[in-house]
Amino acid sequence: MKILVLGATGYAGFHISRALRQEGHTVLGLTRDAAGTRARELLVEEVRPVEGLLSDPKTYRAALEESDAVVCAALDMNDPLGSDRLLFRTLREAQERTGRSRHLVFTTGITFLTTTGHVWDEKTPADPGNPLHLRAQAEQDLADSGLPHTVLRPSFIYGGSGRSSKSAQWFTAARDGEPVFYGDTTKRYTWVHVDDLAAAYVAVLRRPDAFDGQIFMLGDEHQPTILSVQQACLNAAGYTGDIAFQSAESGGVLETCADRDELVDSTKASTLLGWQPRHPGILEDTLTYYAAWDRAQPQN
């Protein structure tokens, strides 16, 4: 297939693009700057950069119309829901013009879910009062659109360059000598290695029709406390000082929303997609993850 990946130069999007190409697909990758360093890295992975913006469909419409499927691994922070709705509208218009549909693999997350229950699965309801509830609204709008689609909900991502991951924040804090832990020290998260995440997109697009309308939670079986993960990341980076403890609210909206256990059950992905995480977990190989992050940093 020919697949357009929106957000191809982002953390998850880059790994998804590479995995799809390694599966044998022709991959087009949307990027803000087709001449930038990250876009050049896409070319090395045999992914063709397409310059454009998620918020401006005319910049990617031609690439979308020549594609057989679309992966959205991007989030427009200025207008998340508005840009998602523009994407859905653009897909509908392309379907009307060309007479064929394109399967959309749409990425959301888990932090907008309710606090009800201990471990979350695909049936866990969204929390209307959560500031990130707009991700649930985007999922609902997509379901109501009638477009062929699959929704993937990653847990906390780690590995590779790290980029926007929490582990990268802690590696950076170790380097700068200012690590802070926000909120409840007993909270636990489910994690997923970025390459295991990418494998789920590959699995969906092997048989997209079989997964139309489905939602999948994605995470490994480990449920470490966040404090233990932060300490392991700081140790891997050579930090031996103290951690400052502050309230979740002082860390901003994202820290506040995630100041609780965020644990997922990926049984559905295992059963239907045949998806299984292959990496040993964030605590098992933290030195390797630090080395990968460190190597990805700009060289002076």
Would you give per-residue pLDDT tens digits along the chain (300 residues)?
999 999 999 999 999 999 999 999 999 999 999 999 999 999 999 999 999 999 999 999 999 999 999 999 999 999 999 999 999 999 999 999 999 999 999 999 999 999 877 899 999 999 999 999 999 999 999 999 999 999 999 999 999 999 889 999 999 999 999 999 999 999 999 999 999 999 999 999 999 999 999 999 999 999 999 999 999 999 999 999 999 999 999 999 999 999 999 999 999 999 999 999 999 999 999 999 999 999 999 875
Structure-token pair, residue 126 = 């969204």
Q: Report CA 94 to chain centroid distance, whole Å.
A: 26
On whether the CB atoms of residues 172 and 137 are closer than 8 A, the answer is no
Give CA angle at 138 (132, 144), nearest 5°.
145
pTM as predicted: 0.96
Instruction: Find, among 77, 288, 72, 75, the residue nearest to 193 by Cα.
Output: 288
Please enumerate, as own/partner, the contacts of 280-286 that have beta carbons within 8 Å and a separation of 24 or more.
Answer: 281/191, 281/220, 281/222, 281/224, 282/158, 282/159, 282/167, 282/191, 282/193, 282/222, 282/224, 282/229, 282/232, 283/222, 283/224, 283/228, 283/229, 283/232, 286/232, 286/233, 286/235, 286/236
Round to whole Å and give the CA distance between 290 and 100: 45
